[in-house]
Amino acid sequence: MLELLDINTYYGNIQALKGVSIRVEAGEIITLIGANGAGKTTTLMSISGIAPPRSGQILFEGRPIHDMEPDQIVALGISQVPEGRRIFPFLSVMENLDMGAFLRRDRDGIKADLEHIFEMFPILAQRRHQQGGTLSGGEQQMLAISRALMARPRLLLLDEPSLGLAPIVVRRIFDIIERINRESGTTIFLVEQNANLALKIANRGYVMENGRITMEDKAAGLLVNEDVKKAYLGI
Ligand code: ATP
């Protein structure tokens, strides 16, 4: 579904991604793990067109997207949930969700997706008229994911959904991520520092260090890999 082929991404003179190649199959959950500053967020930004690569190729369903604008990439079916759950704090829950559907014209489809989201996250239905900024951290993460789902993506990019949330809330969010993948077949690209949790729900994983991919395997394989255990699982 998605292929990153030898991409190099820079911020001015700083090279954040060095020859990164990643392959994502339709229907799977893949995770990219790595330490702070390894380049995980930049990888997602490169896919979504916010930090386009200077060289290399990104193909979505065989079509080059590395020269496209972010809104064109969303229109193709790729949505990103940014790190730090950047919702619109002064807009209501409903207005935040409407923003996620701004490229769509199919009113019936939008209504059906909204109902599905409210069934998945009943708390958002209860708080639909509340300002986004007044929600708890976990609720804001649910809203950020829901807003991305309102674009009806086939590929969902999730940046550190566990960041700053209590363990019990993180577990709920991860259950929902698995459910989204299972029920609607949405392909998930999950960036996480919480490697243990991420590898438990993923099919395959990549490890990133200093802008390079250093390991790639089935998630079950990475979970028992001695280097991964020592560096990322604290075992
Ligand atoms: P984190 O978990 O902290 O978000 P990360 O693995 O997602 O880390 P990136 O945020 O992609 O890492 O950062 C990769 C490198 O690029 C780091 O060295 C970082 O300092 C640098 N970087 C990130 N954003 C910018 C920017 N806007 N301008 C300059 N350098 C940046």
Q: Are 13 and 172 in contact (CB under 8 A)?
A: no
Q: Is the pLDDT of residue 234 over 90?
A: no
171-184 per-position pLDDT tens digit? 999 999 999 999 88
Q: If you measure from the C-alpha of residue 38 to the centroid of ligand 1, how many angstroms do you get, rounded to a whole number?
A: 7
Q: Is the pLDDT of residue 232 over 90?
A: no
Instruction: Give φ, ψ of 87 to 5 degrees.
Output: -90, 175
Q: Which of 4, 7, 8, 11 to mutate to test the pocket of ligand 1 (most atoms within 8 A of CB)?
A: 11
Question: Residue type for 44, please?
Answer: L
Paired residues of 212 in beta bridges: 209
Domain count for the chain: 1
Domain with 28 in it: 2-83+154-232
pTM for this prediction: 0.92
User: What is the arithmetic mean of pLDDT over 60-67?
Assistant: 96
Whether residue 41 has its Cβ less than 6 Å from ligand 1: yes
Q: If you measure from the C-alpha of residue 53 to the centroid of ligand 1, how many angstroms do you get, rounded to a whole number?
A: 14
- Report the distance separating Cα 33 and Cα 25, nearest Å: 18
30 in a structural domain: yes
Q: Is the pLDDT of residue 98 over 80?
A: yes
Q: Is the pLDDT of residue 3 over 90?
A: yes
Whether residue 164 has its Cβ less than 6 Å from ligand 1: no
Q: If you measure from the C-alpha of residue 41 to the centroid of ligand 1, how many angstroms do you get, rounded to a whole number?
A: 7
Q: Is the pLDDT of residue 235 over 70?
A: no
99-117 per-position pLDDT tens digit? 988 888 888 888 999 999 9
- Report the distance separating Cα 36 and Cα 229, nearest Å: 17
Whether residue 37 has its Cβ less than 6 Å from ligand 1: yes
- At residue 79, the 3 state secondary structure works out as strand
Strands 63-64 and 55-60: antiparallel
CATH code, domain carrying 28: 3.40.50.300
